[in-house]
Structure 1
């Protein structure tokens, strides 16, 4: 959940278009360890070297002496996005949505006569949020995302205790697209990253078969977003109907009576449209220190079989940053029209609308964000000397 100081007009329209909540996950454990990634991260019972700091810190007891580990991971975010029109698609009786409709300017109908089939909105390049610049940068079309990792571990000879620390990114993803992409209303540029820059860890060998371990991750969290805004909901559809049907006879013939009766809505140079671009919003939020911890257990009764378990704690954060919004002309004209009428001013006051909508606005923003807890357990079983199965849940 996030809290942001937006104009009441924007907030009201956003709320009127909200219908459901969506949950998803992208980019988890993609840039921690190459070997683990090749095994689908099913390594809780199969020690992945120094990267056990993240996957199961108990497995650090398998390390002997001083070890270092440096890796480089290249990820290509070739994400494909497709959109299609559901049966009966319309907003307050309108369906001439340029994103999904093939009709040209020669078709004056409010109803689409030729819907597109599958609409392509593929990601076109990788985006990253850069802390020093405090903004997102594009890596260019076809360029992969590079994520280096490094770690060091030490277990004194004959000791039952191992120590380690590493730098890695348990969560990183970023992508973007050019202007005109159908997916830009879901985010033209998106960057989500969590970088663990220090992870002091300790593991203890209870006996020859059982080890336990713990690590504390000190991480940097950032979220960047640039997205086009539009609100194809019934409220905006009704405002379009009023502008095109009710207001048409009064556009050039308004007077004080019509202003009072029609709330000044007809005194606009551009009307609202549920399929029109409402503006563009940019967000950049970060938190420099976000601690979490990992607890692990490893039981290895034989060389052929082992069982592991890890609990990775959640991390509750309050990210802080800035937002910037470029407002389109239509919402500016709507408020301007309301303010031109005494009854419109009363309605705006009741609804909490502002007196004006500027061409652009910016300010501070905060977001309550939670990196979720994660529990994983699994087994390793060596069927033959050269064939082993890892299974994790």
Structure 2
């Protein structure tokens, strides 16, 4: 029901069915663009020119509507491998005390696989919402105002990524549920034909931007490792502990203990960007195109719910008991809260996007398109969560750790998940063959580069470089309507990250305690996706 209401919310903002992408970096669901692996900067597709190149609107001479059906099936997959040799030696009792309890050293994630195809999106009023159905109706409209000038508006998503992992999925410690959605719900755009050779287009986009993250957290690190070993030596797990002035046995506090569960949702209802495009018909058989989308830094507001495990509560209640609470007050958590909440503000950066390309009509039947595209992800250094209420047990602990270890990733009122993305350049090629007056065949390839550098690979969004293979066709029903269909497969270039190599997932450094839940454990990213798009455009 939430899914249907959410679609109604989107479609009421525009008089035709709405459009939204489903997977990250797949900005639109147009079947022509899909069939040519998005190589359409110099050959923009009808109403969806609003995104691909606003100048393309000038080519629309009659009132046109477009309806799309999009089906997507992603597989967010990671192979989690073995521990580093140094950690293995410790866990096997070679370099660390032997016969240590499994409650300290058992790692459920080692040598396992994390995989999910469950889609989650962030929606206004509903937050992170699972999509039980991935077949979504979408669309847009364009209307010529007068000779050489066409107006259009569309609903599209420049960023949509989300998933939900099972309760026992080993990848859940970086996120059991993630939803990142940016939907342009109103994008008034004008395309103007300046002369026989040049067209220009300009538009603005008002977007909804939301993020939801829910993760059970563990802290495999030297600090928690020492705490766990100390508990074991004191007999906390075999009940042989003696009466100590400070009780360290109230709850397990080892490197693989699940300590807290944090659930964050934040959003901004109106974010403004603009887009600009040019088309130059150099000759009757050669066209050059360019498009630019502005970037923006948004401040998303929402709330965070923090749930503390029984081990967390028991450990800190014991540690602050027996008269020690006054000495340790405001230094370590009290362990007396099962759940706490705080308003939060997240700073999110949307990159600038630039694309340029050529469309070459080789013969009356054969067309070849070439594109190059750039996104300025290099401006995105971290996902920073600022807590309006710093008086929570989690932030008390992080503030103490920050004062001791000088953390770059946590303070007494914030958590920072380092990203350090890179600017990306990608290229693509698309081919179109006019088989007959009514049937056109398409195929395309894109070499899509990940914005995540090797030493920052993460299980939060396990994306490596991807090869996009696409094919499709167009069938002209009559003089006023056309049907397009396309399928594409996103084949990952698997990326193996050695133990301790990524500061965003598996670093074992003491000051990288936030956040490396797979410290000193290798992993390989292999996310893939399959997508189908059916488009129907008609003059009205």
TM-score higher than 0.5: yes
Shift of 1:277: 0.9
Change (3 A) 1:94 1:110: farther
Structure 1 distance, partners of 2:229, 2:302, is 38
Cα deviation for residue 151 of structure 1 reads 1.6
Q: Which residue of 1 aligns with 2:462?
A: none
Q: Does 1:282 align with 2:263?
A: yes
Whether the 8 Å contact between 1:29 and 1:171 is mirrored in structure 2 is yes
TM-score between the two structures when normalised by the length of structure 2: 0.59
Deviation at 1:92, TM superposition (A): 10
- Alpha-carbon distance change, 304 to 227 in structure 1, aligned in 2, over 3 angstroms: same
Number of the residue aligned with 1:273:
254
Kept in 2: contact 1:35–1:48 (CA 8 A): yes
Cα deviation, residue 93, structure 1: 3.2
Q: 1-side partners of 2:202 and 2:102: how far apart?
A: 67
Q: Secondary structure at the match of 1:132?
A: coil
Corresponding residue to 1:310 among 276, 291, 308: 291
CA contact (8 A) 1:320 1:366 kept: yes
Q: Does the aligned pair in 1 maintain the 2:151–2:189 contact within 8 Å?
A: yes
- Aligned position for 1:59: 56
* Distance of 2:109 and 2:260 partners within structure 1: 25
- State the alpha-carbon separation in 2 of the partners of residues 115 and 337 from structure 1: 29
* Conserved 8 A contact 1:229-1:277: yes
Tell me the distance in 2 between the aligned counterparts of 1:148 and 1:114.
41
Q: Which residue of 2 aligns with 1:238?
A: 226
- Counterpart among 131, 139, 142 of residue 139 in structure 1: 131
User: For 1:91-170, what aligned pairs fall within 5 Å after superposition?
Assistant: 93-94=90-91, 117=111, 119-134=112-127, 136-140=128-132, 143=133, 145-156=134-145, 159-170=147-158
CA deviations on 1:27-56 (whole Å, 9 max, x unpaired) are 123434222122221111012111111111
Question: Aligned-residue CA RMSD in angstroms?
Answer: 3.0
- Residues 233 and 95 of structure 1, relative CA distance in 2, 3 Å threshold: farther
Give the SS at the match of 1:154.
Answer: strand
Tell me by how many angstroms 1:219 deviates: 0.7
The one of 64, 72, 85 aligned to 2:69: 72
Where in structure 2 are there 5+ consecutive unaligned residues? 1-22, 94-98, 373-540
Q: Compared with structure 1, are the counterparts of its residues 203 and 278 closer, same or farther at alpha carbon in structure 2 (3 Å cutoff)?
A: same
For residues 231 and 336 of structure 2, the distance between their equivalents in structure 1, rounded to whole angstroms, comes to: 19
Distance 1:124 1:202, change over 3 A: closer
1:334 aligns with 2:315: yes
- Cα distance 1:32–1:373, how it changes in 2: closer, same or farther (>3 A)? farther
Distance in 1 (CA, whole Å) between partners of 2:280 and 2:235 is 76
Gaps of 5+ in 1: 1-25, 97-104
Kindly indicate whether the alpha-carbon contact (under 8 Å) linking 2:298 and 2:347 is maintained by their aligned counterparts in 1.
Answer: yes
Highest CA radius of gyration, 1 or 2? 1
How far apart in 2 are the matches of 1:53 and 1:329? Answer: 53
Residues 387 and 199 (structure 1), Cα distance of their counterparts in 2 relative to 1, 3 Å cut: same
CA distance in 2, matches of 1:276, 1:95: 18
TM-aligned CA deviation for residue 392 of structure 1: 0.9
